[in-house]
Chains A and B, each alone.
Chain A
């Protein structure tokens, strides 16, 4: 696994994707890492950086899909080309790529790591769930995707006999895990540091507290 680095990088572009923003940064010497790994992005004028999984790794760029839900993510979406922010990563454990018949499952902003993952797995089928047509515009980032809109859920159309790699809200991950106990699931928690320093990002999974930034964000039972 490559050693994470922290560098100041320029914003190349910020593109609207439905209600989300795709923040494209100049890559510099940062390693994009494994799909599912994340980076800490400096959120302008906020005390703490934000943890975001890599969405796409075009040549010489790193791109992150951001949902402007709070002051930090709004500040990231308001970045303009030429602005410079600190970027630290890649961090955490990503998806295992040794899967024979994968299906990618994503819900809402949880689709963020799937475009990069899809590329690494040579565009396997995907099932994506959104709460509205507007949110579902982000599905264009993931090839070979079947899209469902609430009240239809991804678990309603999840194919059998495939290895599941999923990212999305906690209830979705729990529901996916009931159907596919050995699924690789990317979880989410508020993080202060991203590198195991603060013990802030623990999540309780199967009765055990796990530091998501080190043991995750992708966790798997098997």
Chain B
């Protein structure tokens, strides 16, 4: 099991020691063209979590490959996963082709950013287009908005995904005292503690239909939270919002997870894998028995 950062929640160039505390570093999303991102205000705290509308600020794929990747390789000694975004299947595929290089360990397709316009093609079509142009491991980052996560997972696997990252943020709105949205874009991605049960349900639904590796994320703040995702079928864990309040979270969550496992008599995370999956008893079945 690996512990990663959630894309968008860490800049390894400004905090290399935090990135080096993970097993691999996932970059912020790279798009074909440079993007300044959304106008401020970009973040809003809510009672239990936060909203962000950063808007995929990045230097664009050409500058990323030419300047950012070499600087990252210099700054950190961890495998680099690149998060890829776009506005059409062709965008994604061209970027993925450009990133099929030795210094990129894995590519995560950001198919679910709530802060930019979506591509017209389905997630599976985008994964299929990228599969055509690379042999690199391709992870598909899944939205929690999908009603049938299992169906989405099945379609992504059929299209050639090597793994799933779940979940991205949920779309949300926060209002100020004058009843206007706090964020300049209006809506933003909702993250933090409230995402935990949503992530557990999504991972559980995906795990019922696929054996693909799953990088699970959504409100993980402690080892116990990581353990619950593993019990639902996660093979890896990613930390996001918690990094904003606690840059030491990678080591802490790992230690807490080890304690949680020991307390249950488990030797490794594999012993807790899918513990939540079976049996699922319906009321009808339980009455019969």
Residues of A within 8 A of B (CB): 6, 40, 42, 46-49, 71-72, 86, 88, 189-193, 195-204, 209, 214
Q: Provide 28 A-B residue pairs closer than 8 Å at the C-beta atoms, listed in order of the A residue.
A: A6-B246, A42-B245, A47-B46, A48-B45, A49-B244, A88-B247, A192-B43, A192-B45, A192-B244, A193-B243, A193-B244, A196-B11, A196-B15, A197-B10, A197-B244, A197-B247, A198-B8, A198-B43, A198-B52, A198-B244, A199-B8, A199-B11, A199-B28, A199-B57, A201-B42, A202-B42, A203-B40, A209-B57
Q: Is the interface of A mostly helix, strand, loop or mixed?
A: loop
Which residues of B are found within 8 Å of A195, using beta-carbon distances?
Answer: 14-15, 247
Asked whether any CB of chain A lies closer than 8 Å to the CB of B3, the reply is no
Whether the Cβ atoms of A199 and B245 lie closer than 8 Å is: no
Query: Which of B47, B54, B193 meets A199, CB within 8 Å?
Result: B54
Measured CB to CB, the nearest residue on chain A to B52 is A200
Which residues of A are found within 8 Å of B246, using beta-carbon distances?
Answer: 6, 86
Whether the Cβ atoms of A202 and B40 lie closer than 8 Å is: yes
Residues of B within 8 A of A (CB): 8-11, 14-15, 18, 28, 36-37, 39-50, 52, 54, 57, 192-193, 241, 243-248
Measured CB to CB, the nearest residue on chain B to A194 is B244
Query: Which of B11, B14, B44, B46 meets A190, CB within 8 Å?
Result: B44
Q: Give the number of residue pairs across the A-B interface with Cβ within 8 Å.
A: 89
Measured CB to CB, the nearest residue on chain B to A209 is B36
Assuming the A-B contacts A47-B245, A48-B50, A193-B243, are A199 and B42 also in contact, with contact meaning beta carbons closer than 8 angstroms in the complex? yes
Which residues of B are found within 8 Å of A48, using beta-carbon distances?
Answer: 45, 50, 244-245
Query: Which of A72, A197, A199 meets B15, CB within 8 Å?
Result: A197
Measured CB to CB, the nearest residue on chain A to B41 is A190
Query: Which of B40, B41, B193, B247 meets A47, CB within 8 Å?
Result: B193
CA distance A88 to B48 in the complex (A): 21
CA distance A119 to B14 in the complex (A): 30
Assuming the A-B contacts A192-B50, A209-B37, are A200 and B42 also in contact, with contact meaning beta carbons closer than 8 angstroms in the complex? yes
Measured CB to CB, the nearest residue on chain B to A191 is B43
CA distance A33 to B247 in the complex (A): 19
Which residues of B are found within 8 Å of A190, using beta-carbon distances?
Answer: 41, 43-45
